[in-house]
Amino acid sequence: MLTFKNFNIADWFSFYRIAASPILIVLIWLDEQLIFSWMLLISYSTDAIDGFLARKLNIASPRGSQLDSFGDQITLIVGLIGLFYFEKGFILENITLIIIAFIPYLLQMTIAYIKYGKATAFHTYLAKLSAIMQSVFILYALFISPNYSLFYIMIIIGLLETFEEIALIYMHASWTSDVKGIYWAYKAKKRNKNKT
| Distances, alpha carbon 19 to alpha carbons 4, 23, 80, 166, in Å | 15, 8, 17, 29
**Strands of the chain, DSSP E:** none
Domain boundaries, the chain: 7-195
Report helix, strand or coil for 61: coil
Report helix, strand or coil for 180: coil
Q: Considering only residues 54 and 109, tell me which one the structure prediction assigns the higher pLDDT.
A: 109
pLDDT in tens, 138-171: 999 999 999 999 999 999 999 999 999 999 999 9
Q: How many residues does the chain have?
A: 196
pTM of the model: 0.86
Q: Is 58 left (phi over 0), alpha (psi -120 to 50) or beta?
A: left
Report helix, strand or coil for 57: coil
